[in-house]
Amino acid sequence: MKIISLRHFSDRTSAALACLVAGAALASATPGIAEITPWATNEGGRMRIVALPPEPDGTVRGALQIEPKAGWITYWREPGDAGIPPQMVLSEADGVKLSHISFPVPKRINNGKLRDIGYDHSVALPFELKAEAPQRPLTIGASAFVGLCRNICIPFQAEFSLALAPTKGTPVEEAMILNAAASKLPEAPSDDFAVTQYVMTRDRLSLKLRLPAGAVEPQVIVTGPQGHVLLESVNGRRDDDGYALDMPIGKLPKNYDIKGKRWGILVIAGNRAMETSLAFE
């Protein structure tokens, strides 16, 4: 089995992941319906996989759709103080590899003293696979594992099988689902929305941002080493033509060397969100 990770897994999910890998061996035996699998359900919600037929270059566009029930949440690629990040396993025998997977803009959800990062509504996580032999019909076995939480977190695992084949047309329903998912992704940096400066000191990360016109105070999420998320900001202020703030780093892993590392940053300002990375040389 090849483990396809939406992000590195933390120790809190290692036991569940072991079950996931074992369960993936059964994936190819689960019946599928063309490019949209049946919904798998549990107490907290349901999920399924949607995929388009392979393109001539072997690209397969798809999405993992997750629908929490009212009052339940599921998680972003870095869940915050607790929770389970989404995970997928594909069968090695299927001849497909993951190119990339993306996450729509999440929200910070305060649950008592815990700070979750995720979704309290339906969400689709777009992904791309690369098929070694796109001219042939593909049967892809996949196992998905997510967390659905209300007062407690319930691990939710399901096995899927996708039957895909090249086609001259584009299936309308599947394309609409994937296009809608893509429209909810953060944008790339641009002339009017970007990180213009960042400096790491011993105890904080200092940022300067260029924000869209009319934006007041942004929400910033920075992801560092596995399981380490910066959510709190201080000293937020207008600074010349931009916005400056500081983010306390907290306790990094023992002997962690930031040189050569890249941290992710998501900035939410009004109805726009921008995502990029910070390179530490």
Nearest to 160 by CA among 9, 27, 55: 27
Q: Are residues 57 and 81 in the same domain?
A: yes
Note the pLDDT of residue 152: 83
| Tokens 């599947």 found at | 174
Q: What would the pLDDT profile of 187-219 be if each residue is shown by its tens digit?
A: 999 999 999 999 999 899 999 999 998 888 999
Decide which of 182, 215, 249 is a domain's last residue: 182
Note the pLDDT of residue 93: 64
Q: Strand 45-51 and strand 40-42: pairing?
A: antiparallel
Q: Are residues 155 and 124 in the same domain?
A: yes
Note the pLDDT of residue 63: 96
DSSP string, 30-57: S---TTBPPPEEETTEEEEEEEPPPPTT
24 within a domain of the structure (yes/no): yes
Q: What would the pLDDT profile of 226-252 be if each residue is shown by its tens digit?
A: 889 999 999 999 987 799 999 999 999
111 within a domain of the structure (yes/no): yes
Q: For the residues 149-175, what does the mean pLDDT come to?
A: 87
Give me 156's structure tokens: 């939710």
The residues near 58 (Cβ < 8 Å, ≥ 6 apart) are 130, 131, 132, 133, 134
154 within a domain of the structure (yes/no): yes
| Number of CB atoms found within 10 A of residue 188's CB | 10
173, HSE (Cβ side, Cα atoms, 13 Å): 6
Beta bridge partners of 129: 60, 98
Rounded CA separation 150/70 (Å): 9
Rounded CA separation 109/271 (Å): 18
| Least confident stretch, 135-149, 159-173, 176-190 | 159-173
Give me 161's structure tokens: 């099988």
Q: Are residues 171 and 76 in the same domain?
A: yes
The span from the first CA to the last CA of the chain, in angstroms, equals 35
272-279, strands of its sheet edge to edge: 229-230, 219-223, 262-269, 272-279
63 within a domain of the structure (yes/no): yes
Confidence check: pLDDT of 118 > 90: yes
Q: Are residues 172 and 127 in the same domain?
A: yes
189 within a domain of the structure (yes/no): no
Q: Are residues 216 and 254 in the same domain?
A: yes
Give me 202's structure tokens: 């011993």
Give me 127's structure tokens: 């992904």
Q: Are residues 200 and 229 in the same domain?
A: yes
Note the pLDDT of residue 233: 94
Note the pLDDT of residue 30: 36
187 within a domain of the structure (yes/no): no
The rounded percent of the chain whose pLDDT value lies above 90 is 58
Note the pLDDT of residue 29: 32
Q: Are residues 10 and 110 in the same domain?
A: yes
Confidence check: pLDDT of 8 > 80: no
Task: Tell me the CATH number at 241.
Answer: 2.60.40.10
Identify which has the larger pLDDT, 236 or 92.
236
Residue 82's pLDDT band (boundaries 50, 70, 90)? Answer: confident
Residue 107's pLDDT band (boundaries 50, 70, 90)? Answer: very high
Q: For the residues 171-198, what does the mean pLDDT come to?
A: 95
236 within a domain of the structure (yes/no): yes
188 within a domain of the structure (yes/no): no
Note the pLDDT of residue 214: 86
Decide which of 154, 182, 210 is a domain's last residue: 182
Q: Are residues 252 and 173 in the same domain?
A: no
Confidence check: pLDDT of 2 > 60: no
Residue 12 contacts residue 226 (beta carbons within 8 Å) = no
Q: For the residues 102-112, what does the mean pLDDT come to?
A: 91
Note the pLDDT of residue 14: 42
Q: Does the CA dihedral 98-100-105-107 come out positive or negative?
A: positive
Q: Are residues 136 and 258 in the same domain?
A: no
Decide which of 148, 182, 216 is a domain's last residue: 182
Q: What would the pLDDT profile of 20-44 be if each residue is shown by its tens digit?
A: 433 333 333 333 334 799 999 999 9
Task: Tell me the CATH number at 115.
Answer: 2.60.40.1250
Rounded CA separation 165/173 (Å): 16
Question: What range does the domain containing 250 cover?
Answer: 194-279
Q: Are residues 173 and 207 in the same domain?
A: no
Q: Are residues 20 and 138 in the same domain?
A: yes
Q: Are residues 102 and 28 in the same domain?
A: yes
Tally of structural domains, the chain: 2
